[in-house]
Amino acid sequence: MRRVKITFRVIVFVLFGTLLHYALPQHDIVRVVNTYQERQDLNDWTRIFWARPDTQSATLVNRDVQFIQTVKQRTALFGFVPRDATEVMVYRNEDTGWSWPFYFKFDTANLQTEAADLASTAEAPKWAVITHYGWRNEYISAFPNAVAIRPVDNPDVTIIPWFNIFFFIFLMVAIVFGRAMWRQFRERSVDPLLDAAGHELDEVQASVAARRGRIKRWLDTWRAKDKG
């Protein structure tokens, strides 16, 4: 039972962590190479890796999506450790509108223009920081969604993930607070009820035992006295 409990907790923790890794903002240091727009089919399960910019887009079978092609500085350990290497990365650029994930992004066209403005060559690189969420997966054609871009002077800038810091502090506080609320609820509302129910059960059992005692005594009066 203990092992089942631990397994269950690990699964919940991993699933929740995966969800956060997908949805929370991350920063990449990139050099924009080009931008393009391509028609995308949206009618299979990989639909979950595309945004839903407005209500009508939920039922569309395909639509045009904008993309930003970049060369990106490689990192390790969730982006905390910079590495001296580059790789290519392609971002999609879609509105998230009023729905999940809650970035409330409506400025796709502006972002595309800014990205195009920053395009540069390997010989004369212009570096920029792209804020994005989501994953790149070549086999199912999933792309991270770019949320913002800002130019930086050199590719060695230190980025402090303020949003994520506050998010995790808030998450910890919310969990501790939720536990306190649940304990108070149990102590003040559930336990007294259980105690009362337990007390009632004791009384019922006692009265059953007493009645059985009476019946037994009555039966005993019919028994032959010498059998004892």
**Beta pairing, strands 127-133 & 62-76:** unpaired
**Amino acid letter for position 112:** Q
Annotate each residue in 45-64 with x if it binds other proteins (CB under 8 A) or - if it does not, as one string: -------x-xx---------
**Amino acid letter for position 22:** Y
**Closer by beta carbon to other proteins, 180 or else 197:** 180
| Cα 12 from Cα 212, distance rounded (Å) | 51
* Helical segments of 24-151, H only: 108-117
- Looking at the chain, which runs of residues are DSSP E strands? 26-41, 62-76, 81-93, 127-133, 145-152
Tokens (6 digits) for 151: 């130019």
**Closer by beta carbon to other proteins, 8 or else 170:** 170
- Cβ–Cβ < 8 Å for 145, 99: no
**Closer by beta carbon to other proteins, 34 or else 113:** 113
**Closer by beta carbon to other proteins, 10 or else 196:** 196
Residues 93-112 that bind other proteins (CB under 8 A): 97-99, 102-107, 110
Task: Tell the smallest beta-carbon distance from residue 109 to other proteins (Å).
Answer: 11
Residues 160-219 that bind other proteins (CB under 8 A): 180-181, 184-185, 188
Q: Which residues bind other proteins (CB under 8 A)?
A: 52, 54-55, 97-99, 102-107, 110, 114, 147-148, 180-181, 184-185, 188
